[in-house]
Copies of this chain bind each other. A is one copy, B any other.
């Protein structure tokens, strides 16, 4: 018989212990970090039970706060989503989503294969009524007072038409409102120039649609934004298709990491620069913390019946803990229910707008 969680009063996060680059020990270290900081959190842990029990037994803070689900199989980074969908009922990833589906957990976290996780999430949790393509939203360090911007889609789907982009705007606004406490978020649509004559045709159509829905969905539409606005302060939410979004964040990450490396080299160059680096260490750590990708680890899948957070495959314990915290924050704010209500209330109207294209330009 399956052990039942009895985490009375606690928010339970379902965690896929497998599939990350550094194995289950890192995941267990991560949830221990979360448990240490947050007395109101509990876990369902999915993977090879014997291994997991041993790892959890070493962390006293996890005592009585973890329930196990034994799963012999693992979805690897090399598995194709189409294969995974056919034959993965024995995997820790499937099992982690199943706990959300069965309402045993308030959200799921996995470090595994993004494509497979999205494909399984769509099958097990199903899309919200009115959502055509779910999206992955991430937080990106920015000049805004909240320190981060929301960007979506960053890779759930390589294509998005005007109506999908409208859905992303609605979902992104809802996420910014619940995850970042921005009452009236500013939404920007990513393009190659801010002038309205530039860019692709579907973007012009999306521009008209999003403008039309801004008032009723309670956000400000700032119009077209450029790549430089992703870390900027012109918008709180940047909307784009999954291909462009994925390339943009990986370029940004790569550039930030190159700068970090060159900064370290610069400080090793001479005895004087080494001395400077010792004196500068607190300043540099302050900077590092501000832009540390581990602090904002976690892509949130939007548009499903339930919250799924994708942690970076290479996440360390700090990264896993950040992804768990994100799932916790969203669960606590009742985000999934609010998002479902928001999408439902606008889906019908969007349908109407699409049927009367002349209206879009008004």
Which residues on A are within 8 Å of B, measured CB to CB?
78, 80, 115, 141-143, 155, 158-159, 190, 192-193, 195, 197-200, 226-232, 240, 242-244, 246-259, 261-263, 265-267, 269-270, 272-273, 275-277, 279-280, 282-284, 286-287, 290-291
In the complex, which of the residues B80, B227, B273, B282 contacts A251, with contact meaning CB atoms closer than 8 Å? B227
Which residues of the other chain, B, contact A192 by a CB distance below 8 angstroms?
155, 158, 242-243, 246-247
CB distance from A14 to the nearest CB of B (A): 26
Q: Check A227/B200 contact, CB under 8 A, given A247-B190, A259-B291, A283-B276.
A: no
Which residues of the other chain, B, contact A226 by a CB distance below 8 angstroms?
246-247, 250
Give me 9 other A-B pairs in contact (C-beta within 8 A), A115-B193, A249-B251, A277-B280 excluded. Answer: A80-B195, A143-B258, A226-B246, A231-B257, A243-B244, A248-B248, A269-B282, A270-B282, A280-B280
CB <8 Å contact, A287 and B262: yes
Interface SS, A side: helix
Copies of this chain present in the complex amount to 2
Which residues of the other chain, B, contact A242 by a CB distance below 8 angstroms?
192
Question: Which residue among A159, A253, A270 has the maximum number of chain B CB atoms within 10 Å of its CB?
Answer: A253
Closest 4 interchain pairs by CB? A227-B250, A276-B279, A276-B280, A228-B254
Which residues of the other chain, B, contact A284 by a CB distance below 8 angstroms?
266
Expressed in whole angstroms, the Cα–Cα distance for A228 and B155 within the complex equals: 14
Expressed in whole angstroms, the Cα–Cα distance for A276 and B240 within the complex equals: 41
Which residues of the other chain, B, contact A155 by a CB distance below 8 angstroms?
192
CB <8 Å contact, A198 and B115: yes
CB <8 Å contact, B254 and A141: no
CB distance from A155 to the nearest CB of B (A): 6
Q: Check A269/B251 contact, CB under 8 A, given A199-B158, A200-B158.
A: no
CB <8 Å contact, B254 and A283: no
Expressed in whole angstroms, the Cα–Cα distance for A272 and B190 within the complex equals: 41
Expressed in whole angstroms, the Cα–Cα distance for A230 and B261 within the complex equals: 15
CB distance from A240 to the nearest CB of B (A): 8
Which residues of the other chain, B, contact A78 by a CB distance below 8 angstroms?
195
Which residues of the other chain, B, contact A269 by a CB distance below 8 angstroms?
282-283, 286
CB distance from A207 to the nearest CB of B (A): 15
Question: Which residue among A155, A253, A258, A286 has the maximum number of chain B CB atoms within 10 Å of its CB?
Answer: A258
CB <8 Å contact, A259 and B259: yes
Expressed in whole angstroms, the Cα–Cα distance for A200 and B115 within the complex equals: 14
25 contacts between A and B (CB under 8 A): A78-B195, A115-B193, A141-B255, A143-B258, A158-B198, A158-B199, A192-B243, A227-B250, A227-B252, A227-B254, A232-B254, A243-B244, A244-B244, A244-B247, A248-B248, A259-B291, A263-B287, A266-B283, A269-B282, A270-B283, A273-B280, A276-B276, A276-B277, A276-B279, A277-B283
Q: Check A254/B279 contact, CB under 8 A, given A197-B80, A243-B192, A247-B192.
A: no
Q: Check A248/B246 contact, CB under 8 A, given A158-B199, A258-B141, A269-B283.
A: no
Expressed in whole angstroms, the Cα–Cα distance for A229 and B250 within the complex equals: 8
CB distance from A235 to the nearest CB of B (A): 12
Expressed in whole angstroms, the Cα–Cα distance for A254 and B251 within the complex equals: 11
CB distance from A24 to the nearest CB of B (A): 24
CB distance from A275 to the nearest CB of B (A): 6
Expressed in whole angstroms, the Cα–Cα distance for A250 and B78 within the complex equals: 31
